[in-house]
Amino acid sequence: MRDFISSHCQLGEYEAAVRERLAALDHDAGNVAARLWAQDASLWSDVRDVQAKILNRLGWLSSPLTMAARLSEFGRLDTTNIDDGVLLGMGGSSLAPELFQRVFGNADGRPRLHVLDNTTPGAVRAVQEAVALDRTLFIVASKSGTTTETKSFADYFFEQTGGAGERFIAITDPGSVLIDWAKQEGATLFLNPQDIGGRYSALSFFGLVPAALIGVDIATLLQRAVDAIHAGSAAPTAAHHVAVALGTIMAELARQGRDKLTLIASPPLAAFGDWAEQLVAESTGKQGHGTLPIVGESVGRPDVYGADRLFVYLRLAGDATHDGAVDALRAAGQPVVQLDLADKYDLGAQFFIWEFATAVAGVVLGINPFDEPNVTESKTNSKKLLAQFEAEGTLPEPEAVLAQAGVALSGSVTGDSVTTALAHFVDGVGAGDYLAIMAYLPMTEANERALRRLQNAIRDRSHAATTLGFGPRFLHSTGQYHKGGPAQGHFIQIVAEERGEPLPIPDQPFDFGTLVAAQALGDLEALQSRDYPTLRLALSGGDSAALIAELAASL
């Protein structure tokens, strides 16, 4: 029986090191898979307090079986006279639901799902204008109920509906403030097991309630995850265990400089990348280590990639869209792992495989994959800025070094024009480094299309791995990696002036425009405090997408 390395991977010069590491996980580590199933927290830390916290984050291991036993609870979802659902959440609470809508769509007669995890006024308005409030279910998803963005969204739409609690669903943990709110207002409550971290929660109520709302067959999805569990249990060695092998490959190649995990997916599965990005980046990017997922790039020629890449190809049966490009990468000697899916429901298996793999990667990297120690830095900075706004009525604005044609630059600016300054910044990205585009803009199709052009233009010019994240959602994803991972980052922040009337947040002294501005400034401060190269682009005068497209073309 061929193992996973032989049947699904081309690792070239790295295969021997991966196999050596897998053998160690089989023997020296006392069988890592068995220890993980035994919830042996010493895999990741020798500190008792840390081990106790880890033990409260391992509920995802049993989540497929736990949720399968609770299938009847999804019957409480009443979609009578409901045309739309709106998911209000951040990070792990929003990315799996978004994946389900993008991959499966809504079944006939089922509501369309809109995901709101963007605090720009334009994004909030766009959701409100896309639905009829009296025919919409709002899903408030938060482990604690106190997440700033989620609470702001919930308060806003609760007020807009006139306090129609019966059209709200709360998904939360025991002890959350959302429990009393749901009971008081008559909202439907789904209480999730509290020992599942947000980014590991796809196969819990946080992912499955929105999926059930749009008509995804939850029983089939969970069964595929259970099948993956059984397949892993039957694996004779670590090299035969898909999740253990994948996690070991990710971590061992990262240790050897190939720490840019580039995801290529059959088009119907493209949304998986955003979910995996948060899982891997936030779990591994700490203590100067980590694996950085690269998602959303167009698949390029082999010569546009550096020697820091590991490619993972998620291929849907019957879809040959990327076969030729992936074969070219193999021929060029790039390391490639292929994961085959029989159909979309195999995503149930992939959720579990990637969660297990990420936990194993933590063992190999010597880090705790269940905490996020640097996420609070930007949050703390933003809270200070909002307190300053409340006291003074204004936020500080970085002084522009250069301004032309609707674009003002600040930060690491070299050059006498916007285009030359951008080119100089991109050219400063060295081998093994990455560039992160952080866009505090509404997630419109036009904005994303223009930003993807910029992402690919930077990649093609510099041969550097380039990520794209919309703010503030990326703060709950790659934001941890930016500050806790290897010091390889170069950062372009893009903001735009607020258009239209301010959009107030109930019971707050600031509006959505002020909130997102403070979030952008707070993260910029966290990056600059580390002396990381940063370039801030403040756009004004109307069409942000057109301005970004022009900048992309200039490269």
- Give yes or no: residues 121 and 210 share one domain: yes
- Give yes or no: residues 106 and 90 share one domain: yes
Q: 2: which residues sit within 8 A by CB, 6+ positions away?
A: none
* Domain of residue 415, CATH code: 3.40.50.10490
Is residue 32 included in any domain, yes or no?
Answer: yes
Residue ranges of E strands in 108-159: 112-116, 136-141
Final residue belonging to a domain, choices 341, 365, 389: 365
Q: What range defines the domain where residue 473 resides?
A: 375-554
Is residue 167 included in any domain, yes or no?
Answer: yes
Is residue 389 included in any domain, yes or no?
Answer: yes
- Give yes or no: residues 288 and 316 share one domain: yes
- Give yes or no: residues 207 and 262 share one domain: no
Give the separation between CA 511 and CA 56, rounded to whole angstroms.
36
Q: What pLDDT sits at residue 541? A: 83
- Give yes or no: residues 203 and 339 share one domain: no
Q: Are 421 and 535 in contact (CB under 8 A)?
A: yes
Structure tokens at 376: 């609070």
Q: Are 153 and 124 in contact (CB under 8 A)?
A: yes
3-state secondary structure 272-330: HHHHHHHHHHHHHCECCECCEEECCCCCCCHHHCCCCEEEEEEEECCCCCCHHHHHHHH
Final residue belonging to a domain, choices 365, 397, 418: 365
Is residue 370 included in any domain, yes or no?
Answer: no
Q: Are 51 and 289 in contact (CB under 8 A)?
A: no
Q: Are 485 and 528 in contact (CB under 8 A)?
A: no
Q: What pLDDT sits at residue 378? A: 95
**DSSP reduced 3-state for 265:** strand
Q: What pLDDT sits at residue 1? A: 80
Q: CA end-to-end span of the chain, whole Å?
A: 50
Is residue 30 included in any domain, yes or no?
Answer: yes
Give the separation between CA 532 and CA 530, rounded to whole angstroms.
5
Q: Based on the structure, what is the number of domains in the chain? A: 3
Is residue 382 included in any domain, yes or no?
Answer: yes
- Give yes or no: residues 211 and 72 share one domain: yes
- Give yes or no: residues 233 and 171 share one domain: no
Is residue 420 included in any domain, yes or no?
Answer: yes
Final residue belonging to a domain, choices 303, 334, 365: 365
Q: Are 88 and 140 in contact (CB under 8 A)?
A: yes
Q: What pLDDT sits at residue 29? A: 60
- Give yes or no: residues 29 and 73 share one domain: no
- Give yes or no: residues 317 and 412 share one domain: no
Q: What pLDDT sits at residue 27? A: 84
- Give yes or no: residues 423 and 396 share one domain: yes
Q: What is the pLDDT along the chain (555 residues), one digit of tens a residue?
A: 899 999 999 999 999 999 999 999 988 666 999 999 999 999 999 999 999 999 999 999 999 999 999 999 999 999 999 999 999 999 999 999 999 999 999 999 999 999 999 999 999 999 999 999 999 999 999 999 999 999 999 999 999 999 999 999 999 999 999 999 999 999 999 999 999 999 999 999 999 999 999 999 999 999 999 999 999 999 999 999 999 999 999 999 999 999 999 999 999 999 999 999 999 999 999 999 999 999 999 999 999 999 999 999 999 999 999 999 999 999 999 999 999 999 999 999 999 999 999 999 999 999 999 999 999 999 999 999 999 999 999 999 999 999 998 999 999 999 999 999 999 999 999 999 999 999 999 999 999 999 999 999 999 999 999 999 999 999 999 999 999 999 999 999 999 988 889 999 999 999 999 999 999 999 999 999 999 999 999 999 879 999 999 999 999
- Give yes or no: residues 206 and 293 share one domain: no
Give the separation between CA 545 and CA 508, rounded to whole angstroms.
31
Give the separation between CA 58 and CA 450, rounded to whole angstroms.
39
Residue 146 has what DSSP assignment? -
Is residue 394 included in any domain, yes or no?
Answer: yes
Cβ count near 434 (within 10 Å): 25
- Give yes or no: residues 509 and 547 share one domain: yes
Give the angle subtended at the CA of 475 by the CAs of 472 and 478, to the nearest 5°: 130
Phi, psi torsion values for 310, nearest 5 degrees: -125, 125
